[in-house]
Amino acid sequence: MQLQSIKNRFEIVGNSPALNHALETAIKVAPTDMSVLILGESGVGKESFSKIIHAQSARKHANFIAVNCGAIPEGTIDSELFGHEKGSFTGATDARKGYFETVSGGTIFLDEVGELPLGTQARLLRVLENGEYIKVGSSKVLKTNVRVIAATNRDLLERAQQGKFREDLYYRLATVPIRVPKLSERKEDVYLLFRKFASAFAEKNHAPLVGLTEEAQELLKNYTWPGNIRQLKNVTEQICVLESENNPISSEILGYYLPRPVSNLPQLANSSEGQTQGFSERDIFYKFLIEMKKDVSELKRIVMGLIENNSNREEFIKKHQSEINHVLYNQEPDFEVAEQKSAIIIPSSSIIANNKESFIEVQPLDDHTLGSLTIADQELEMIKNALKRNKGKRNRAAKELGISERTLYRKIKQYNLEDF
């Protein structure tokens, strides 16, 4: 009864076991003063859980503030959280109270806590351990009584191993961890959420209520939803605006609004489409060729090892399993190839994993087909175009290119595009 009441109050839709478990944990921990760490991908609704915990706590009548740690510059984050004294730095013309002072007695929600600088992490740890902090430019120890709820979409223990996050801070924050499930783990809730967003749009804009055919409902449920609930709401509102005359919406129409998931398989754009996701056929073809260059030497070594160890392949694969996994299942798109003089040889991941010698042969292209530019030139142009299309936002450009942000940063440095 209490669970359903919470869902109604905070407009939470869904009945999946994973969602219910997360909500029940939040309700149980709310009356305490324990720190809570909310885990989950971007767009799953982590801030809603922080509000539930605050509203069900003894601090519900005190202040609540949500702080996006990733949106505050490193040079000012300490001042924002802990305050500063007049003249403590250039531009500090007056003393300022920080959030831990103004929200004392209430709750502070630190979203994207994994983005905090190490120095700020040390200050936060002191607050969590004994409720003490020092303003920037001061030596006076102040006290605060604030409950901290943090959230992240990163693996903080992994960042701790990389030296980017304090392990002791992780364990102080994660006194009670709550994992909010991603939308692909709540398939039974997807259509319910679509109906909620469509109904809210229709009521707000005095528009007809949009529905889906059975085939479209299945497509909606089985989509991966990398942007989670935020993406689902965006897609729903687009359809409500642009496709209301086609009600109910078919799977063909719905598919037009669902971005294609990134695939590790080579794929050329349809000639009828001309472009796919901002890439021309030529761009996509060169992207495929560039990616095929990766891990060539490593794959050659593995394949040659399989050939040379013909009599004892199982032992060879077991010994080199981590290297094989790196080549075949790297998170970044990689098209593993072994180069031959007359052809490009692309091994099938399933075939290699099953220890068989079977390859797909693709005849190479001549210089006229490739054009006058080198592969490196094409890579540079693709990176420039992606950065232009995404107005310099590197995370979006990396997603569009199908590579990790780390790889994009490395390429930007390689081609001197830091100021692009």
Three-state SS string over the chain comes to CHHHHHHHHCCCCCCCHHHHHHHHHHHHHCCCCCCEEEECCCCCCHHHHHHHHHHCCCCCCCCEEEEEHHHCCCCCHHHHHHCECCCCCCCCCCCECCHHHHCCCCEEEEECHHHCCHHHHHHHHHHHHHCEEECECCCCEEECCCEEEEEECCCHHHHHHCCCCCHHHHHHHCCEEEECCCHHHCHHHHHHHHHHHHHHHHHHHCCCCCCECHHHHHHHHHCCCCCHHHHHHHHHHHHHHHCHHHCCECHHHHHHHCCCCCCCCCCCCCCCCCEECCEEHHHHHHHHHHHHCCCHHHHHHHHHHHHHCHHHHHHHHHHCHHHHHHHHHCCCCCCCCEECCCCEEEECHHHHHCCCCCEEEECCCCHHHHCCCCHHHHHHHHHHHHHHHCCCCHHHHHHHHCCCHHHHHHHHHHCCCCCC
Q: Which residues contact 265 (CB under 8 A, 6 or more apart)?
A: none
Count CB atoms within 10 A of the CB of residue 382.
21
Strand 36-39 to 176-179 pairing: parallel
pLDDT band at 259 (very low <50, low <70, confident <90, very high): confident
Please tell me the predicted confidence (pLDDT) of residue 103: 95
Please tell me the predicted confidence (pLDDT) of residue 235: 94
> Under a CB-based contact definition with an 8 Å cutoff, are residues 123 and 166 in contact?
no
Q: Which two tokens stand for residue 289?
A: 């060729």
Poorest-pLDDT segment among 72-86, 245-259, 324-338, 374-388: 324-338
Please tell me the predicted confidence (pLDDT) of residue 272: 42
Count CB atoms within 10 A of the CB of residue 61.
8
> Under a CB-based contact definition with an 8 Å cutoff, are residues 53 and 106 in contact?
no
CATH fold of 2-181 reads Rossmann fold (3.40.50)
- 347 prior amide bond cis, ω within 30: no
What is the average pLDDT across 370-394?
75
The yes-or-no verdict on residue 349 having pLDDT over 60 is no
Q: What percent of the chain has pLDDT over 70?
A: 72
96 or 335: which leads in pLDDT: 96
Q: Which two tokens stand for residue 254?
A: 């719905």
Poorest-pLDDT segment among 42-51, 217-226, 252-261: 252-261
pLDDT band at 180 (very low <50, low <70, confident <90, very high): very high
Q: How far is CA 301 from the centre of its chain?
A: 34
Nearest to 149 by CA among 108, 179, 116, 101: 108
- pTM higher than 0.75: no
What is the average pLDDT across 230-243?
93
pLDDT band at 199 (very low <50, low <70, confident <90, very high): very high
pLDDT band at 365 (very low <50, low <70, confident <90, very high): very low
Q: Which two tokens stand for residue 80?
A: 């924002």
Q: Which two tokens stand for residue 33?
A: 């003063």
The yes-or-no verdict on residue 60 having pLDDT over 80 is yes
Domain 184-257, CATH number (from 3.40.109.10, 1.10.8.60, 1.10.3720.10, 2.60.120.10): 1.10.8.60
pLDDT band at 58 (very low <50, low <70, confident <90, very high): very high
232 or 303: which leads in pLDDT: 232
Measured CA to CA, the distance from residue 61 to residue 311 in angstroms comes to 73
| Domain definitions of the chain by residue range | 2-181, 184-257, 293-368
Please tell me the predicted confidence (pLDDT) of residue 388: 84
Measured CA to CA, the distance from residue 66 to residue 150 in angstroms comes to 10
Please tell me the predicted confidence (pLDDT) of residue 390: 83
Q: What are phi and psi of 225, to 5 degrees?
A: 50, 65
83 or 359: which leads in pLDDT: 83
What is the average pLDDT across 31-50?
95
The yes-or-no verdict on residue 27 having pLDDT over 60 is yes
What is the average pLDDT across 147-152?
96
Averaged pLDDT of the chain:
80
